[in-house]
Structure 1
Amino acid sequence: MAVDTMAGGGERVSSWRRLGSMREAGLIAIILALCVIMTFASPHFLTLGNFRAMLMSFSVEGIVVVGMTVLLIVGGIDLAVGSVVCFAMVFAGSLFLLGLDPWSASLLGILASAAIGAIMGFFVTVVGLNHFITSLAAMVIVRGLCLIITKGTPLSLFTMPPEFKAVGQGTFYGVPYVILIFIAVVVVFDFLLRRATAFRKVFYTGSNEKAAQYSGIKTKQVKFWVTVMCSTLSGVAGVIYMSRFGAATPTFGVGMELNIIAAAVIGGASLNGGSGTILGAILGIALLSVVASSLILLDVSVYWQDMIKGCILLAAVSIDHFLHKRKA
């Protein structure tokens, strides 16, 4: 009996140790600590309006983070996500102004975003370029397309029907549709990453591409479709932003890739591929959202805000480097 009790106690201790070693647990602790500090630092932090604003902010970016996380796991990276988000807005908005209904225009905007991902995937898997260079070129080209389509002028889309605006502005029993869409995307992709055989190939490819090839996995196809998926989710986010703001600005999303990559890496997605979780990435974007809200409430200059975000990204990449080095 004593042995069983000791064994049971040992299992509980081991479970707590595993929980404590989880990166997600550390992120949760940091977020909670920051929230407690800000509660005393600013009377406006612990309010329903502020938390709603933070949730709305990171929910749409969180959709893009999901795609970026899966791409990082496979060993890639996408610097063009901010430009693709803007392109989906601009392309769909332009089609709407030409007379197409907003639903069809949005669908075409998402498909166009997927096509951009397919082009990047082609250059990575067929031509042989790496994700960094390919996505860097795509970032500049797609941003240029946004400026060409709009001629540098924001598109006013306030004539959109109320049922479409509801996607970005409406609520369901008090919960914004944006948050519900975000939760649905997170749940689906988290389940697929954990349980679906096809998505396990993403981890195998990112961990050791040659070994994955020898085991029969078509790694180039895996990389191609993950690249398309990341751009598609960016297109979905762009359409939601269009519905939410009722406008399409050609400069929207500049610098967004910084937040997205930082959130994924902070959450445990390795730049070397092979590791990462959806939950960790979402906690990463939540942490950045709390930090951004805190800096605004403390009246910190926007220039300092960018510097602080950059320092957080550098710290996250450094931690990832040392963890990967230790594991190796």
Structure 2
Amino acid sequence: MDTLSKLFKNNIRQYGMIIALVVIMLLFEILTGGLLLKPINITNLILQNSYILVLAIGMVLIIITGHIDLSVGSIAAFVGAAAAIMMVDWGWPTWAAVVASLVVGGLIGAWQGFWVAYVRIPAFIVTLAGMLLFRGLTMIVLEGQSISPFPSGFQKISSGFIPDFGSFGTNMVAVVAGIILSVVYIINELRDRRAQLKYNFKVISQGMFLLKLILLVAVINVFTFMLASYSGIPNILILLFVLIVIYSFVMNKTVMGRHIYALGGNEKAAGLSGVKTKKVTFWVFVNMGVLAAISGLIFAARLNAATPRAGTNFELDAIAACFIGGASASGGIGTVFGAIIGGLVMGVLNNGMSLIGLGIDWQQGIKGLVLLLAVAFDIYNKNKRSV
């Protein structure tokens, strides 16, 4: 129990947000009379929040380095507009337009990263200018009008599902995916535990370890069964899963990830330790530009149109997701998984409040309060540890 207590205290923010997410889901499940956790609504939650979760993955890297990016919503809108012009007006193949859009996003990220990393203009100013610049460019290239419809193949990015096999009444691809994920998760946990025991690290008791495995395997399979009960696994969920795995690996297992954390923890110390701080900052912004482009493509595919007002407040939702998920406003702290949890908290709040009929005014106020409390909780824990 002592080890369990220490484990919880050391990860109180992350575990606290998971507990908060569960509590919020149960609360809205009761308030909506069981509508929140219906398979169709679970699928809608994924589709509605996918572009924010993609942005949150990139934003958490920006925040860990001690910066901020206010331009991602405008970049997403601009890239969506560029993709519409290429596919609808110019007749480009979908794959060519998507690749070109990602290149555009990367170039925009490089433009902003140059000013932040090498000219040393604060990221707040650079990205605020970018927010205004690319919002204006979006309106110019669209001439104030929407462009639609996109090719059906492009629409499937955001609205399509993985094809099923057989005719069993339940989507077997989702069921099999749940089983495979459970097996992979159990193998990884057993391997990590064996490695920790080998080097005499403190681990939770065998009973608690088994309970943890049972609970998480149950969650995985209940989730995939819910998806199977509707239309199966959305295409966008596969993209999100791949991004989460790749970025979690980069941040936890690679030199680049360690350099990003070192830069956010103490830039001068990181520089003296051999970290190329300017280069790291530059590439983090390039990465954010590419992910903002992906988010813009997802949103355009879901809306089946490029509109001048697309991406409005995306940056605020992405930043809120990161802070709610445990990222520190002072840099050096945060995880990809935490940002995803924070994004899901925001998504469930939005969805639940809409289902019970709360107006947009109440929704904005409650989300603002949740963000304030999350950051206050972070500062309280820091002060408590420093005493």
The answer, yes or no, to whether TM exceeds 0.5 is yes
Q: Does residue 19 of structure 1 match 2:8?
A: yes
Q: Deviations over 1:214-259 (max 9, x none)?
A: 1111101100000110111110111122222211111111111111
* Distance in 2 of aligned mates of 1:311 and 1:209: 31
Q: Does residue 38 of structure 1 match 2:38?
A: no
Residue 210 (structure 1) aligns with: 268
Q: Which runs of 5+ in 1 are unaligned?
A: 1-11
Q: Does residue 77 of structure 1 match 2:68?
A: yes
Q: Deviations over 1:126-164 (max 9, x none)?
A: 221111111111001000000000011111124x1x333
Residue 222 (structure 1) aligns with: 280
How far off its partner does 1:325 sit?
4.2
Aligned AA (1:53): N
Q: Does residue 269 of structure 1 match 2:327?
A: yes
Q: Deviations over 1:163-192 (max 9, x none)?
A: 332222211142000011001100110011
- SS state at 1:156 partner: coil
Residue 159 (structure 2) aligns with: 169
* Distance in 2 of aligned mates of 1:189 and 1:68: 12
Aligned AA (2:8): L
How far off its partner does 1:197 sit?
1.0
Aligned AA (1:13): D
Residue 118 (structure 1) aligns with: 110
* Distance in 2 of aligned mates of 1:324 and 1:119: 35
Q: Does residue 293 of structure 1 match 2:351?
A: yes
Q: Deviations over 1:243-282 (max 9, x none)?
A: 2221111111111111100110111111211010111111
Residue 94 (structure 2) aligns with: 102
Paired residues in the alignment total 315
Specify whether residues 151 and 325 from structure 1 end up closer, same or farther in structure 2 by C-alpha distance, changes over 3 A only: farther
- Percent of residue pairs identical: 32
- SS state at 1:247 partner: coil
* Distance in 2 of aligned mates of 1:41 and 1:126: 52
How far off its partner does 1:320 sit?
2.9
* Distance in 1 of aligned mates of 2:378 and 2:241: 27
Aligned AA (2:355): L
User: Contact 2:63–2:331 at 8 Å: present in 1 too?
Assistant: yes
How far off its partner does 1:65 sit?
0.4
Residue 120 (structure 2) aligns with: 128
User: Contact 1:60–1:182 at 8 Å: present in 2 too?
Assistant: no
- SS state at 1:175 partner: coil
Q: CA RMSD in A?
A: 1.5
Q: Does residue 55 of structure 1 match 2:55?
A: no
Q: Does residue 257 of structure 1 match 2:315?
A: yes
User: Contact 2:318–2:343 at 8 Å: present in 1 too?
Assistant: yes
Q: Does residue 280 of structure 1 match 2:332?
A: no
Q: Which moved more, 1:256-265 or 1:43-52?
A: 43-52
Specify whether residues 195 and 258 from structure 1 end up closer, same or farther in structure 2 by C-alpha distance, changes over 3 A only: same
TM-score, normalising length: structure 1: 0.92
How far off its partner does 1:76 sit?
1.0
User: Contact 2:47–2:158 at 8 Å: present in 1 too?
Assistant: no
Q: Which moved more, 1:317-326 or 1:241-250?
A: 317-326
* Distance in 1 of aligned mates of 2:154 and 2:81: 16
Q: Which moved more, 1:278-287 or 1:47-56?
A: 47-56
Q: Does residue 150 of structure 1 match 2:139?
A: no
* Distance in 2 of aligned mates of 1:55 and 1:317: 25
User: Contact 1:27–1:283 at 8 Å: present in 2 too?
Assistant: yes
* Distance in 1 of aligned mates of 2:330 and 2:288: 18
How far off its partner does 1:193 sit?
0.5
Q: Which runs of 5+ in 2 are unaligned?
A: 165-231
